[in-house]
Amino acid sequence: MAPRTPLLLLALLLLAGATRGQHWSHGWYPGGKRDLGAPPGLPRLVPARGRKTRHDPPAKAKAARVKVPPPVDPAELAVVTERYRQHRAVLGALRCMFRAEVLQRQREERQQQEDSVALREEHRLLMAWNEAENARQRARRFGGNNGIWGFTP
């Protein structure tokens, strides 16, 4: 009997690894979330076990149970509500600071865009003035004719 025990344990270990187990939250029934044995094209079976629906009657042991809310310690409730108030105040202040930073950043970006529009307009006006000045200089140099070769650049 002694030589068979290691072989039996080895066989159990090998076979235990070959079976497909499911996590406890997926249910130990066919058609669970991880039913790897079913082909992908077939519809899944309705599980035989699982959670009750809200329309199922309660169990016999729980039928006479009266639902009573848990007792509340007034001192502990006061401490918890005060801490929660402080927590909400801190989070509100952090949110306010973050919102102010975002609005400031948006304001700065908008100002940069407006500045860039003004700079582009100023550059366009300066280039137009430069073209007019170049045309005036050409007219002065070449005496009003269309240049040496008969055209203006």
Q: Please indicate, yes or no, if residue 17 is contained in any of the structural domains.
A: no
Closest CA to 31 of 49, 19, 51: 49
**Is the pTM for the entire model greater than 0.95?**
no
- Taking the C-alpha atoms of residue 120 and residue 31, their distance in angstroms, rounded to an integer, is 68
How many domains, in total, are found in the chain? 1
Q: Please indicate, yes or no, if residue 94 is contained in any of the structural domains.
A: yes
Q: What is the largest CA-CA distance in the chain?
A: 126
Percent of the chain with pLDDT over 70: 62
Q: Please indicate, yes or no, if residue 151 is contained in any of the structural domains.
A: no
Cα Rg, the chain, nearest whole Å: 42
Q: Please indicate, yes or no, if residue 14 is contained in any of the structural domains.
A: no
- Mean pLDDT (whole number) for 4-17: 63
Q: Please indicate, yes or no, if residue 95 is contained in any of the structural domains.
A: yes
Output b/e per residue, 60-89; b: 16+ Cβ within 10 A: eeeeeeeeeeeeeeeeeeeeeeeeeeeeee
Q: Please indicate, yes or no, if residue 97 is contained in any of the structural domains.
A: yes
Neighbours of 153 (CB within 10 A): 6
pLDDT of 19 higher than 70:
no
Q: What domain range is 138 assigned to?
A: 76-142
Q: Please indicate, yes or no, if residue 100 is contained in any of the structural domains.
A: yes
Q: CB of 29 within 8 A of CB of 45?
A: no
Query: Three-class SS of residue 51?
Result: coil
Q: Please indicate, yes or no, if residue 33 is contained in any of the structural domains.
A: no
pLDDT of 18 higher than 80:
no
- Taking the C-alpha atoms of residue 73 and residue 4, their distance in angstroms, rounded to an integer, is 62
Confidence of residue 137 (pLDDT cuts 50, 70, 90): very high
For residue 16, give the amino acid letter. Answer: A
